[in-house]
């Protein structure tokens, strides 16, 4: 049997679109290469030494021809640009109903946490037909989360959150690779993605030792790190309440406005001086070096959940 796959499986709709762009470009390249080769051969034979072809009145300029060979490639390359941009935008913008999974890369493994607190290592279980968004960060060096069957790849950086999303449409087991050389055992930083039927997935998600949700762990950390002493309702220090801050614009000291996303909350905790909320004193201490990436994810999940509670209560 033919067992020499030149192409990975396609397990998302988007993967098909990425392939379409790729094969479209390949077709353009092949067509032009063939055209040029054929013309070279044709003229090499026609004007070979000793041939009687007419060499008088050789053309040196041809305006129409020049315009044609500028305009046609211009349209072709703009077409490729438009198609690729459309696919890229779709890849870039996660739908708002996507469920979130947190990924922590480190030398040399992937630690994965689901919002309900379930953890896995080098394995990611997801349901078929539902959008999933990954929030990713690294504990040490740059890694890259790569799932060939989804045509999805995103660098995972220390000190920063990156994200990507996909919606698998075919159940099965797929490869997961680290696609950024990250040290001695980089080649072993691999794993599997399991795309499951929704019912199987629910069963898997609720199986095993039931841990508490990320947001609950986060609320405990919020107390144990003393955040609630300032951010709580009965705090003596004047600090902004964090209910509903996630996803909303925050006016900063100095006049600018930022949207409170994961990165902003992370920076607020590690580098509180870098962005001070308008109307407040910069008294919040930095937690750089005191809070682990893992704990940060939980606190962020908690602050995000605060936002949801508030909105649903309105």
Binding region for Cu ion (CB under 5 A) out of 110-118, 138-146, 236-244, 263-271: 138-146
Distance (Å, whole) CA 95 – CA 62? 52
For the chain, give the longest Cα–Cα distance. 100
Three-class DSSP category at 257: strand
**178: contact with Cu ion by CB under 5 A:** yes
User: Residue 182: which of Cu ion, ligand HEC, none does it interact with, CB under 5 to 8 A by kind?
Assistant: Cu ion
If phi > 0 it is left, if psi is from -120 to 50 it is alpha, else beta; for residue 84 that is alpha
Tell me, residue by residue from 195 to 234, as one string, x for binding to ligand HEC by CB under 6 A and - for no binding: ------------------------------xxx-xxx---
Distance (Å, whole) CA 94 – CA 9? 22
User: Residue 237: which of ligand HEC, Cu ion, none does it interact with, CB under 5 to 8 A by kind?
Assistant: ligand HEC
Residue in 22, 177, 204, 280 binding ligand HEC, rule: CB under 6 A: 280
User: Residue 76: which of ligand HEC, Cu ion, none does it interact with, CB under 5 to 8 A by kind?
Assistant: none
- Minimal distance in Å, beta carbon 159 to ligand HEC? 17
**284: contact with ligand HEC by CB under 6 A:** yes
CA dihedral defined by 139, 266, 294, 121, rounded to 10 degrees?
A: -70
**259 phi, psi to nearest 5 deg:** -90, 130
- Minimal distance in Å, beta carbon 272 to Cu ion? 30
**252 phi, psi to nearest 5 deg:** -105, 160
Contact 147, 110 (CB under 8 A): no
User: Residue 103: which of ligand HEC, Cu ion, none does it interact with, CB under 5 to 8 A by kind?
Assistant: none
Count of residues near ligand HEC by CB under 6 A? 26
**84: contact with ligand HEC by CB under 6 A:** no
Residue in 112, 189, 195, 227 binding Cu ion, rule: CB under 5 A: 189
- Can you list the alpha helix ranges (DSSP code H) found in the chain? 13-46, 63-92, 198-206, 214-224, 227-231, 262-270, 293-313
Binding region for Cu ion (CB under 5 A) out of 7-15, 141-149, 163-171, 303-311: 141-149
**135: contact with ligand HEC by CB under 6 A:** no
* Cβ nearer to ligand HEC, comparing 142 with 291: 291
**179: contact with Cu ion by CB under 5 A:** no
**250: contact with ligand HEC by CB under 6 A:** yes
Q: Which residues contact 65 (CB under 8 A, 6 or more apart)?
A: none
User: Residue 143: which of Cu ion, ligand HEC, none does it interact with, CB under 5 to 8 A by kind?
Assistant: Cu ion
CA distances from 176 to 115, 137, 190, 220 (A): 21, 16, 5, 33
- The enclosing H or E element of 120 equals strand 119-121
Q: Residues interacting with ligand HEC, by CB under 6 A?
A: 225-227, 229-231, 237, 239-240, 242, 245, 250, 260, 265, 268-269, 272, 276-277, 280-284, 287, 299
Q: Residues interacting with Cu ion, by CB under 5 A?
A: 143, 178, 182, 189
């Amino acid at each position: 049997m033919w067992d020499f796959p030149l192409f990975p499986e396609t397990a998302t709709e988007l993967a098909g679109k990425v392939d379409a762009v790729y094969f479209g470009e390949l077709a353009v390249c092949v067509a032009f290469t063939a055209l040029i080769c054929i013309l070279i051969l044709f003229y090499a034979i026609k004007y070979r030494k000793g041939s009687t072809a007419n060499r008088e009145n050789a053309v040196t300029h041809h305006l129409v021809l020049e315009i044609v060979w500028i305009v046609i490639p211009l349209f072709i390359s703009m077409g490729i640009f438009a198609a690729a941009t459309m696919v890229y935008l779709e890849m870039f913008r996660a739908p708002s109903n996507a469920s979130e999974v947190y990924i922590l890369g480190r030398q040399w493994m992937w630690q994965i946490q689901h919002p309900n607190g379930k953890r896995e290592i080098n394995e990611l279980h997801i349901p078929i037909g539902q959008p999933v968004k990954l929030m990713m960060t690294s504990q040490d060096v740059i890694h890259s989360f790569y799932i060939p069957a989804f045509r999805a790849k995103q660098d995972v950086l220390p000190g920063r959150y990156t994200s990507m999303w996909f919606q698998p449409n075919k159940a099965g087991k797929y490869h997961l690779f680290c696609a950024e050389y990250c040290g001695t055992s980089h080649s072993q930083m691999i794993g599997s993605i399991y795309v499951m039927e929704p019912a199987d997935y629910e069963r898997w998600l609720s199986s095993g030792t039931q841990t508490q949700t990320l947001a609950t762990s986060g609320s405990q950390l919020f107390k144990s790190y003393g955040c609630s002493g300032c951010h709580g309702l009965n705090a003596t220090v004047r600090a902004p309440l964090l209910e509903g801050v996630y996803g909303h614009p925050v006016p900063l000291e100095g006049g600018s406005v930022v949207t409170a996303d994961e990165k902003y909350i992370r920076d607020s905790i590690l580098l509180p001086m870098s962005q001070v909320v308008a109307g407040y004193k910069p008294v919040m201490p930095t937690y750089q070096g005191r809070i682990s990436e893992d704990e940060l994810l939980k606190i962020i999940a908690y602050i995000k959940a605060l936002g949801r509670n508030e909105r649903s209560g309105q």
